[in-house]
Amino acid sequence: MKLKIVIAFFALVWLVLLVRIYQLTVKSNTYYETLATQNIVKKEWILPVRGEILDRHGKPLAINKIGFKILVDAHLSPKKRRPQLAMALNQIKRDFPDLNTSKLLKRYLKTDSPYRHEPIVVVRFVPYEKMLPHYTELSRRAHLKIEPTTKRYYPYGPMTAHIVGYVGKANEKDLTGDSVVGLTGIAGKSGLEKFYNRFLEGEPGYKKIKVSAFNQQIAILETVPPKEDRNIRLHLDMQLQDFISKLFESQHRSGAVVVMRTDGAILSAGSYPAFDPNEFVSGISRSEWKRIIENLNHPFTNKLIHGLYPPGSVIKPGVALALVDSKRVSPYTKFYCNGAIELGKHKFRCWKSAGHKETDMIKAIRESCDVYFYKGSLLTGIDKIAMELRKMGLGKKSGIDLPNEFIGVIPDKNWKMSKYGQPWYQGETLNAAIGQGYTLTTPVQIARYTALLATGRLPTPRVAASLQDEPLPPHTEDVLTLREKRVLPLVRRAMYEVCNHPKGTAYSTLHDAKVKVAGKTGTAQVIGIPQEEKKRMKEDELAYYHRSHAWLTTYAPYRDPQYIVTILVEHGGHGGSAAGPMAKAIYNWLYDNGYIKRASKRR
CB-based burial, 417-427: b 16+ in 10 Å, e otherwise: eeeeeeebeee
pLDDT at 214: 60
Residue 163 domain-assigned (yes or no): yes
Same domain flag for 133 and 188: yes
Residue 10 domain-assigned (yes or no): no
pLDDT at 594: 94
Distance CA 359, CA 350 (A): 13
Cβ of 111: how many Cβ atoms within 10 Å?
A: 15
Same domain flag for 135 and 56: yes
- The answer to whether the beta carbons of residues 549 and 429 sit under 8 Å apart is no
Same domain flag for 194 and 253: no
CATH code, 485: 3.40.710.10
Residue 594 C-alpha from the chain's centroid: 28
Distance CA 551, CA 579 (A): 7
pLDDT in tens, 120-136: 899 989 999 999 999 88
CATH code, 112: 3.90.1310.10
Distance CA 197, CA 173 (A): 14
Same domain flag for 381 and 525: yes
pLDDT at 34: 60
Same domain flag for 201 and 249: no
Same domain flag for 210 and 261: no
Name the pairing type of β-strands 120-127 and 255-261: unpaired
> Which residues share a beta bridge with 566?
258, 553
- The answer to whether the beta carbons of residues 461 and 399 sit under 8 Å apart is yes
Same domain flag for 594 and 447: yes
- CA angle at 450 for the pair 447 and 455, rounded to the nearest 5°: 125
Name the pairing type of β-strands 120-127 and 53-54: unpaired
Strands (E), 303-382: 335-337, 340-343, 346-349, 357-359
Residue 584 domain-assigned (yes or no): yes
Domain boundary among 212, 234, 256: 234
Same domain flag for 227 and 307: no
> Which residues share a beta bridge with 257?
270, 567
Residue 14 domain-assigned (yes or no): no
Residue 284 domain-assigned (yes or no): no
pLDDT at 234: 98
Same domain flag for 220 and 248: no
Domain boundary among 234, 263, 285: 234
Q: Which parts of the chain have pLDDT scores under 70?
A: 1-4, 6, 22-39, 212-216, 527-542, 598-603
- Please enumerate in sequence order all residues whose Cβ is within 8 A of that of 259, keeping only pairs 6 or more positions apart, or say none: 240, 244, 266, 267, 268, 269, 563, 564, 565, 586, 590
Domain boundary among 216, 234, 252: 234
Distance CA 450, CA 454 (A): 6
- The answer to whether the beta carbons of residues 207 and 185 sit under 8 Å apart is no
**Secondary structure of residue 361 in the 3-state scheme:** helix
How many residues are there in the chain?
A: 603
Same domain flag for 332 and 200: no
Residue 429 structural domain: 238-275+300-466+476-600
Residue 287 domain-assigned (yes or no): no
Distance CA 393, CA 457 (A): 11
pLDDT at 528: 56
The residue type of 55 is D
Same domain flag for 429 and 536: yes
- Please enumerate in sequence order all residues whose Cβ is within 8 A of that of 2, keeping only pairs 6 or more positions apart, or say none: none
- The answer to whether the beta carbons of residues 154 and 188 sit under 8 Å apart is no
Residue 22 domain-assigned (yes or no): no
- The answer to whether the beta carbons of residues 575 and 509 sit under 8 Å apart is no
- The answer to whether the beta carbons of residues 523 and 506 sit under 8 Å apart is no
Same domain flag for 216 and 249: no
Element (H, E) at 497: helix 482-500
Question: How many domains, in total, are found in the chain?
Answer: 2
Residue 29 domain-assigned (yes or no): no
